[in-house]
Amino acid sequence: MKHYRQELLFHTKTRRAYINITEQVQAAIDKSGIQEGLCLVNAMHISASVYINDDESGLLHDYETWLEKLAPHAPVSQYKHNDTGEDNADAHLKRQVMGREVVVAVTRGKLDFGPWEQIFYGEFDGRRDKRVLVKIIGE
Ligand code: ZN
């Protein structure tokens, strides 16, 4: 069995962002040389997510609106976590809802998706260096 590990780096200009990382993950699979196996992609921070869904601008807007309703960023004083001096309690909650990781089958060297599936990096506390882990195993 072969294995391959790579980190993807992000530094968004905005606090929140939704970035399609499918091409970067496929590029990692290409580098790995693995044809049949599994690909794990996970956010390495507890204020960011990796998830799979449609790359449709209306939907991305809907996530933003929905998550802000569930866990509004402001006022930051509404969260106990922010008593520590941080202001990112909402980002922890948004991350919990949107998930930590995805696992996708690799078949004939390609991500084996269902219709319209794309891999996204969801940033909820950006404007600093963040990492995503890609781990591929197979042969
Ligand atoms: Zn925090």
pLDDT digits (tens, 9 = 90+) for 107-127: 999 999 999 999 999 999 999
Query: How far is the centre of ligand 1, averaged over its atoms, from the C-alpha of 88 (Å)?
Result: 5
Query: How far is the centre of ligand 1, averaged over its atoms, from the C-alpha of 129 (Å)?
Result: 15
Query: How far is the centre of ligand 1, averaged over its atoms, from the C-alpha of 4 (Å)?
Result: 30
Instruction: Read off the CATH number of the domain in which 67 is found.
Output: 2.60.120.460
Q: What is the tens place of the pLDDT at every residue in 82-111? A: 999 999 999 999 999 999 999 999 999 999
Burial level of 128, CB count in 10 A (0-12/13-18/19+)? exposed
Question: 8: helix, coil or strand?
Answer: strand
Query: Residue 42 — pLDDT band, cuts 50, 70, 90?
Result: very high
CA distance 8 to 38: 18
Query: Ligand 1 is a single-atom ion; what residues have CB below 5 A from it?
Result: 86, 88
Question: 58: helix, coil or strand?
Answer: helix
Query: How far is the centre of ligand 1, averaged over its atoms, from the C-alpha of 12 (Å)?
Result: 17
How many folded domains does the chain comprise? Answer: 1
% of the chain beyond a pLDDT of 70: 100
Mean of the per-residue pLDDT values for the chain? 98
Task: Give the residue from 130, 139, 125, 120 showing the smallest Cα distance to 57.
Answer: 120
What is the residue range of 99's domain? Answer: 2-138
